């Protein structure tokens, strides 16, 4: 297979992964040994993700084909990078990558593309501190349902109090 055909195939495979993924993380690989890369890939796969080493130029071509704009963040696609695709909970995957990077300083998370937006640097650390998606949804749902439940209780209070008074009178007469 010719070199150009291989590159076209890599771009097509990358585009397929980008279309399937909820988001992706870019991490600089500063010389991880094979054993560490295999461990990282296993941990990422357990979090419903996939890690690939792809040439930055080919990844950029796939991004352009998908219509993703990195808002002029050229430093994101410089150096030896590993691209981590998230097919599940992106925050849990980011937590795993950051946890791994703290134990192996040769992996440095540089950025994350999530919900159509690019997050870099200290933003990644802040995002990784968020609770899981299910907990966030429960908090939002509680915020929506809480006032409604309170209103129902306030509206039921006079009727409930009247029943208590009537039961008290009934017990007093018996």
H-helix or E-strand spanning residue 39: helix 34-46
Residue 39 CA neighbour count, 13 Å, CB half: 13
pLDDT in the model for residue 13: 95
The pTM of the full predicted model, rounded to 2 decimals, is 0.76
Work out the mean pLDDT of the chain and round it to a whole number.
89
- Phi–psi pair at 59, nearest 5 degrees: -65, -40
Q: Give 85's strand partners.
A: 24, 50
CATH superfamily, with its number, for domain 3-130: Ribosomal protein L10, N-terminal RNA-binding domain (3.30.70.1730)
pLDDT in the model for residue 39: 92
pLDDT in tens, 57-96: 999 999 999 988 776 677 888 889 999 999 998 889 999 9
| Per-domain boundaries in the chain | 3-130, 131-174
Q: How confident is the model at residue 1 (pLDDT cuts 50, 70, 90)?
A: low
């Amino acid at each position: 297979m010719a070199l150009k055909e291989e590159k076209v195939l890599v771009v097509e495979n990358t585009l397929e992964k980008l279309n399937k993924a909820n988001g992706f993380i870019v991490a600089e690989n500063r010389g991880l040994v094979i054993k560490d890369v295999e461990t990282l890939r296993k941990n990422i796969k357990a979090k419903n993700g996939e890690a690939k080493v792809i040439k930055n130029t080919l990844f950029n071509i796939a991004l352009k084909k998908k219509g993703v704009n990195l808002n002029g963040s050229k430093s994101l696609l410089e150096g030896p990078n590993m691209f981590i695709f998230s097919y599940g909970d992106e925050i849990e995957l980011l937590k795993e990558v950051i946890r791994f990077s703290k134990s192996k300083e040769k992996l440095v998370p540089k950025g994350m593309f999530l919900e159509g937006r690019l997050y870099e640097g200290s933003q990644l650390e802040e995002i990784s501190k968020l609770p899981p998606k299910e907990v966030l949804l429960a908090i939002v749902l509680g915020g929506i349902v809480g006032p409604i439940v309170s209103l129902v209780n306030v509206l039921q209070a006079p009727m409930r109090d009247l029943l208590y008074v009537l039961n008290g009178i009934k017990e007093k007469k018996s």
